Amino acid sequence: MDRRRLPLNALRAFEAVAHHGSFTAAATALNISQSALSRHVIGLEELIGHKLFERRRNALTLTESGETLLGGVMKAFERLEQTLDVVCAPNGTTRSRRLRVHLPPSFAMKLAVPLLNDFRQSFPDVVLEISTPYGGPATDVEVAVVYSRPVVDDAVTDLLWEERPTILCHPAVGAQAAERPLAAFVAENEVVHVRIVDHGAHHSWLEFARQNGFAPSTVQRGLSFDSASLAVEYVLSGQGLVVADPVLFAGEIASGALAAPVAASHYEGFGYYLKIDAEGLADPLISAFRSWLIQRFKTAEPKGRGAREAPSLALVRNAG
């Protein structure tokens, strides 16, 4: 499309409706009439040849075209805002930049505080907005750490570390493991599950059982939680076994509050991946955040075959 024909007011109206989920609320926020707002959105739909919203009696939802357009519009407006802030800043001063970051819940709870404290020391003029929604990042984040298997998509993707989950439990419960075969140890204790998006509630335990040679029926029971942190909090009370990544809970294991009583683990390729929109790398701040985060993680490959060691994870802080 010719840049001279870009419908900036219509795009602003579209973004407001998508943000508020209502023509009435969007018109109020923009201080224009609802009829004028509707004309902007209808004109934009006619210009691009696609419906942007599904209009139902009590709901307004984005179409697939609307979702695609919203992501681009939000990024474009954010870049404009950032550029205007730089241009308008008094000479010799630096205005704060905002960076929206998605982190998985357990990653955020266990690692975000030391990581982000370090980041703020390195980038004091950056205001971080952290989101941790279950199910994955929202469309308006600029940087995301996601928990998944390797996938091919349009994002620039960097592996932070792969997980190799093992059984974690209270030390008193873990003491039983030395006296029993693995299958019996699991069968005699409560099983606690961590749900993985787009997989069944029992997925991790079922895969652990399959790879370690005991009956899946042994683990198709027990409580399930949305995050590994909640599941581990539960087993720390002295009840149950959870299959989780020992890297996230290295502090609890080192202190003796939590036990990893067996060598058995399982591997599916799940891990924590840093994802950035390819266009975002043109932004010096996003590119710097990517380089900074990658440098903070140091992974070691598991040795040998068979039972796998959990990779080591270290935060590498700036000198000085």
Q: Quick one: average pLDDT of 230-240? A: 94
Nearest to 231 by CA among 242, 221, 239: 242
Reduced to 3 states (helix: H, G, I; strand: E, B; else coil), residue 36 is helix
| 163/147 Cα distance (integer angstroms) | 10
The two structure tokens encoding residue 139: 């469309």
| 102/105 Cα distance (integer angstroms) | 9
Is it true that 97-162+270-302 and 166-255 share their CATH fold? yes
| 26/38 Cα distance (integer angstroms) | 10
The sheet with strand 166-169 has its strands ordered as 166-169, 241-244, 191-194, 223-225
Residue 113 in this model has a pLDDT that exceeds 90: no
Q: List residues bridging with 169 in a β-sheet.
A: 241, 259
* Residue-wise pLDDT tens digits, 36-66: 999 999 999 999 899 999 988 778 889 999 9
Nearest to 162 by CA among 87, 248, 271: 271
CATH of domain 3-88: 1.10.10.10
The two structure tokens encoding residue 233: 């909090």
| 192/269 Cα distance (integer angstroms) | 21
Residue 168 in this model has a pLDDT that exceeds 90: yes
At residue 285, the pLDDT reads 84
Nearest to 205 by CA among 163, 169, 252, 241: 241
Cβ proximity of 221 and 215 under 8 Å: no
Does the pTM exceed 0.95? no
| 56/22 Cα distance (integer angstroms) | 11
* Residue-wise pLDDT tens digits, 263-279: 999 999 999 999 998 87
Which is more confident, 318 or 206? Answer: 206
Instruction: Name the pLDDT band for 216 (thresholds 50, 70, 90).
Output: very high
Q: Quick one: average pLDDT of 13-22? A: 90
| 145/65 Cα distance (integer angstroms) | 25
Q: Quick one: average pLDDT of 167-174? A: 96
At residue 88, the pLDDT reads 66
Residue 204 in this model has a pLDDT that exceeds 90: yes
Give the list of residues 6+ apart from residue 99 with CB closer than 8 angstroms, or none.
126, 127, 128, 129, 142, 143, 285, 286, 289
The sheet with strand 155-162 has its strands ordered as 126-131, 97-102, 143-148, 271-277, 155-162
At residue 235, the pLDDT reads 96
Q: Quick one: average pLDDT of 249-274? A: 93
Domain ranges of the chain: 3-88, 97-162+270-302, 166-255
User: Residue 80: what residue type?
Assistant: L
At residue 89, the pLDDT reads 62
Instruction: Name the pLDDT band for 301 (thresholds 50, 70, 90).
Output: very low
CATH of domain 97-162+270-302: 3.40.190.10
Instruction: Name the pLDDT band for 310 (thresholds 50, 70, 90).
Output: very low
Which is more confident, 314 or 80? Answer: 80
| 270/147 Cα distance (integer angstroms) | 7
In the chain, % of residues over pLDDT 90: 41
At residue 198, the pLDDT reads 85
Q: What is the mean pLDDT of the chain?
A: 83
At residue 59, the pLDDT reads 80
Secondary structure element (H or E) that encloses residue 100, with its range: strand 97-102
Answer whether CATH 3.30.420.10 is correct for domain 166-255. no
CA 221 to the chain's CA centroid:
27
Residue 94 in this model has a pLDDT that exceeds 60: no
**Side-chain half-sphere of 175: how many Cα atoms within 13 Å?**
5
Q: Quick one: average pLDDT of 121-131? A: 83
User: β-strand 271-277 against 143-148: which pairing, if any?
Assistant: antiparallel
Cβ proximity of 134 and 226 under 8 Å: yes
At residue 256, the pLDDT reads 95
Residue 191 in this model has a pLDDT that exceeds 60: yes
Residue 318 in this model has a pLDDT that exceeds 60: no
Nearest to 82 by CA among 70, 69, 100, 67: 100
